[in-house]
Structure 1
Amino acid sequence: MNRLSPRAAVLCQGAVRGLCVSSRQGRESVAKPCSEEEAALYVHWPYCEKRCTYCNFNKYIPRSDNEAAIRSCLVQEARTLIRLSQVHRITSVFFGGGTPSLASHGTIAAVLEAVSQTALLPQDAEITLEANPTSAERSRLQQFQKAGVNRLSVGVQSLDDQELLLLGRTHSTSEAQKTLEEACNLFPGRTSVDIIFGLPGQSLASWHRTLRQLLDICDDHVSLYQLTLERGTSLFKMVQDGRLSTPDMEVASQMYEDARRTLSESGFRQYEVSNFARNGALSAHNMSYWLGKQYIGIGPGAHSRFVPRGSGGQQRQARIQTLEPEPWMKEVMHYGHGTRKVTELNDLDVLSETLVQGLRTDIGITHERWQQIVPSLSLYHVFGASQEIGELRQAGLLVLDERGLRCSWKGLAVLDSLLLPLLTQLQEHWAQRETGTF
């Protein structure tokens, strides 16, 4: 899945903390901002060739050839959770990880077949696979295409060999360029590129060179991620030990602004904080997250947001699967799924997630979408009279008008600093509403 910045991730995840199963009903329970009939599906492949120096994702180095076992469990869990949700249509499938391009095309095909047997998977549904250059030679990409993949997300991360070495990547710049060329030939208009900026020692000059190279070889979708030093990673330790300098935040901020401007001038629309597309090549799957639609996550550590109507549920749940592959497989074989944690979300939880996710996009949150959650509570009610939010609007960072609530171009670049006052205002207004102390 696309990465949230640390603060946004914490704010968003705050809504799903608690006991293993909790029920926190709001006083007004109505339709949620998604169709009950459909959901997106995320499939987590947990294995990588090696762990990169910056990565703290849920991934593992395979100790044995257990692909047949994990394939069987992915198939079983997909069937179980789709049936539990009772959705009739899967709108998109995203194979993430880990490095799902290390899986065989047979595993990809088996999962897609199980999905299509359990719910409608439209022929034109977006099927994305994350791929690394070292595991994505042309013949392999062709096999994935035959299995049903129609979109690639290529983890290039840098187009500088020294930076790739620093990040612990297993490919070179030339290998990345070759993979992108082959991917664009096989998946024209549907090849996305991941790039990281703000590395220790990275200069504006080297970043500008990367941008120029990127525009020469990229397709119609680019994802830009600022490096975050995650505790427990090799890169974090190297910075702590003084072997590397801390990334310069002012330089990183300038890199982001330069990239936004450069991509915009090249016809890209910044439709989300980290994502840019031209020719309409937005990621349909990731838009499902940001627009608050239901999604089902299968595989070790995967997350979900859906209503479990198959068990009589009426409230949306946040679900997390067991992290480690071996325990997860044992649970799937025993129970049909490996869900480790379930939290029922009340209306305030859903509004908070809608705020955090929706404001990541350039379209923001429409009035209609907001009031699908609580019809009696409009965006104007919550934010219109707030002095602090008013100051953010006057500063040209937020817009609240007849279309809804959204960040301006300037505000999108500093979203993290806007979320705290917005969430605080929402929580304070909700508390006043509950106690009748308006």
Structure 2
Amino acid sequence: MALPGARARGWAAAAKAAQRRHRAEGAGGQPSAAPRSQRAALYVHWPYCEKRCSYCNFNKYIPRGVEEATVRSCLVTEARTLLRLSGVRWVESVFFGGGTPSLASPHTVAAVLEAVAQATHLPADTEVTLEANPTSVPGSRLAAFGKAGVNRLSIGLQSLDDAELQLLGRMHSARDALQTLAEARRLFPGRVSVDLMLGLPGQQVGLWLGQLQELLRHCDDHISLYQLSLERGTALFTQVQRGALLAPDPELAAEMYQEGRTVLREAGFRQYEVSNFTRNGALSTHNWTYWQCGQYLGVGPGAHGRFTPHGAGSHTREARIQTLEPDNWMKEVKLFGHGTRKRVPLGELEQLEEVLAMGLRTDVGVTHQHWQQFESQLTLWDVFGANKEVKELLEQGLLLLDHRGLRCSWEGLAVLDSVLLTLLPRLQEAWQQRNPSPVPGG
């Protein structure tokens, strides 16, 4: 079997070959040469974990044994198939998520990247992110992933309190987390993101802020703050339902979030999205594609995607979901080249709702230029400029509508859900006025 370093060199060789091919086809080999319809991010789902955490309802499985060569082959096949169906010629980022993709072999990561580079243009400096848990990535393994082509890590740290980690069902300790973080920063300086959860049962604001301050002494330039969401079917949900645990206090969680974002702002972090904070420009290129409603392909069991299948002759963007269960997914990939289980065409109004809801999650919001890429007739001024309820949000300082576009203020980002409750109905009204339904029997 080839070493990960050899695989990475294979990716580099394939990338150079793609550049030569693009130049020969008159594409010029430059990112700007690929139109928006031919560019996409790529998400690759590794569905396996060592155990299921008490709060997790993601599509993940605890296997007795994984035939990784088969899984790897199917991931490569599906990536090639979806790239062909989508007509994508330029992959802007790759994200290996899960599950716990750091349990996969670096060979699997390298094989997928090499296949993508052979099928389309994947520049050598493309952001390639791997999700990792502290217990699954000793330093030597992190280095091997780096040689395979990974250049950014997202570490599921979640807490720096051992009792909270045990409550969450995590397998690592706070000490493990900090050791992994230090090694990750050594290998991937400036490109390590960490997750910290808030709103756990019994969690106190002051103690949680102490964790955040401690993390700031060790972290890199990207932090994500996520509020615990109790999902039906999880162990934590059952414990709360039975009264074995106190239900999380939403007011305390809101206070943690507000205090936490203030601490991060004072530490020089930019809140570029509702849950994500960066300094020194270290934002997630991959996630930015989601928030800007760019195309993305989902590869692997249960992966989601949003793209227009130009290669199949379609002109309508689709929401796609791959088959959830890994064994069934692999059977379908072997038979059909991909395991797409569900395809939902997205109407014009649905796309505009996504552009609005996703764009307003960011501090940039929805610019006029971005809006016009999806809606050429109704401007943001047309939709929101004269509405009384929107004017109230503007006067309250929660929303801004100006020459740049529509965006939330720093205060507005904290209450985005309530802002959208005003904006989405207004968008629906404006769109229906422009596209009146035919009168039945008329």
Q: TM-score, normalised by structure 1?
A: 0.91
Q: Which amino acid aligns with 2:168?
A: L
2:394 pairs with 1:393: yes
Q: CA deviation at 1:343?
A: 1.2
Q: Which amino acid aligns with 1:238?
A: Q
- Report what 1:426 is aligned to: 427
Q: Could you tell which deviates more after superposition, 63-72 or 167-176?
A: 63-72
Output the CA distance in 2 between the equivalents of 1:201 and 1:374: 46
Q: CA deviation at 1:436?
A: 8.9
- Report what 1:279 is aligned to: 280
Kindly report which structure 2 residues correspond to 1:45-84, keeping only aligned pairs within 5 A, or say none.
45-84=46-85
Output the CA distance in 2 between the equivalents of 1:47 and 1:420: 37
- Report what 2:247 is aligned to: 246
- Report what 1:210 is aligned to: 211
Kindly report which structure 2 residues correspond to 1:128-139, keeping only aligned pairs within 5 A, or say none.
128-139=129-140
Q: Residue 127 of structure 1: SS of its match in structure 2?
A: strand
**Corresponding residue pairs, total:** 404
Output the CA distance in 1 between the equivalents of 2:240 and 2:215: 28
- Report what 2:13 is aligned to: none
Kindly report which structure 2 residues correspond to 1:226-237, keeping only aligned pairs within 5 A, or say none.
226-237=227-238
Q: Which amino acid aligns with 1:310?
A: G
Q: Residue 43 of structure 1: SS of its match in structure 2?
A: strand
Q: Which amino acid aligns with 2:334?
A: M
- Report what 2:384 is aligned to: 383
- Report what 2:304 is aligned to: 303
Output the CA distance in 1 between the equivalents of 2:59 and 2:40: 23
- Report what 1:410 is aligned to: 411
Q: Which amino acid aligns with 1:248?
A: D
2:266 pairs with 1:265: yes
Output the CA distance in 1 between the equivalents of 2:351 and 2:57: 27
Where do 4+ consecutive residues of structure 1 move more than 6 Å? none
Q: Could you tell which deviates more after superposition, 75-84 or 421-430?
A: 421-430
Question: Which 5+ residue runs of structure 1 have no aligned equivalent?
Answer: 1-33
Kindly report which structure 2 residues correspond to 1:103-142, keeping only aligned pairs within 5 A, or say none.
103-142=104-143
Q: Residue 332 of structure 2: SS of its match in structure 1?
A: helix
Q: Could you tell which deviates more after superposition, 265-274 or 421-430?
A: 421-430
Q: Residue 194 of structure 1: SS of its match in structure 2?
A: strand
Output the CA distance in 1 between the equivalents of 2:301 and 2:104: 15
Output the CA distance in 1 between the equivalents of 2:384 and 2:86: 34
Output the CA distance in 2 between the equivalents of 1:141 and 1:383: 48
Q: Provide, for residues 187-246 of structure 1, a one-character-per-residue CA deviation record: whole Å limited to 9, x for no partner.
A: 000000011001000001210110111101100000110001111100001111111101
Q: Residue 225 of structure 1: SS of its match in structure 2?
A: strand
Output the CA distance in 1 between the equivalents of 2:354 and 2:346: 10
Output the CA distance in 2 between the equivalents of 1:55 and 1:65: 21
Q: CA RMSD in A?
A: 1.1
Q: Residue 217 of structure 1: SS of its match in structure 2?
A: coil
Output the CA distance in 2 between the equivalents of 1:250 and 1:317: 38
Output the CA distance in 2 between the equivalents of 1:77 and 1:151: 23
Q: Residue 36 of structure 2: SS of its match in structure 1?
A: coil
Output the CA distance in 2 between the equivalents of 1:64 and 1:436: 55
Q: CA deviation at 1:268?
A: 0.5
- Report what 1:19 is aligned to: none
Q: Could you tell which deviates more after superposition, 138-147 or 199-208?
A: 199-208
Output the CA distance in 2 between the equivalents of 1:84 and 1:303: 15
- Report what 1:359 is aligned to: 360
Q: CA deviation at 1:306?
A: 0.9
Q: Provide, for residues 328-350 of structure 1, a one-character-per-residue CA deviation record: whole Å limited to 9, x for no partner.
A: 11111100000011111122111
Q: CA deviation at 1:178?
A: 0.1
Output the CA distance in 2 between the equivalents of 1:219 and 1:329: 37
Output the CA distance in 2 between the equivalents of 1:385 and 1:189: 44
Output the CA distance in 1 between the equivalents of 2:377 and 2:361: 25
Q: Provide, for residues 140-173 of structure 1, a one-character-per-residue CA deviation record: whole Å limited to 9, x for no partner.
A: 0000000000000000000000000000000000
Output the CA distance in 1 between the equivalents of 2:40 and 2:204: 42
Q: TM-score, normalised by structure 2?
A: 0.90
- Report what 1:198 is aligned to: 199
- Report what 1:314 is aligned to: 315
Output the CA distance in 2 between the equivalents of 1:234 and 1:435: 48
Q: Residue 225 of structure 2: SS of its match in structure 1?
A: strand
- Report what 2:102 is aligned to: 101
Q: Which amino acid aligns with 1:347?
A: E
Output the CA distance in 1 between the equivalents of 2:378 and 2:287: 27
1:242–1:387 CA distance, 2 compared to 1 (3 A): same
Question: Which 5+ residue runs of structure 2 have no aligned equivalent?
Answer: 1-34
Q: CA deviation at 1:249?
A: 1.1
Q: Residue 374 of structure 2: SS of its match in structure 1?
A: coil
Q: Residue 39 of structure 1: SS of its match in structure 2?
A: strand
Q: CA deviation at 1:77?
A: 0.2
Output the CA distance in 2 between the equivalents of 1:107 and 1:136: 15
Q: Which amino acid aligns with 2:75?
A: L
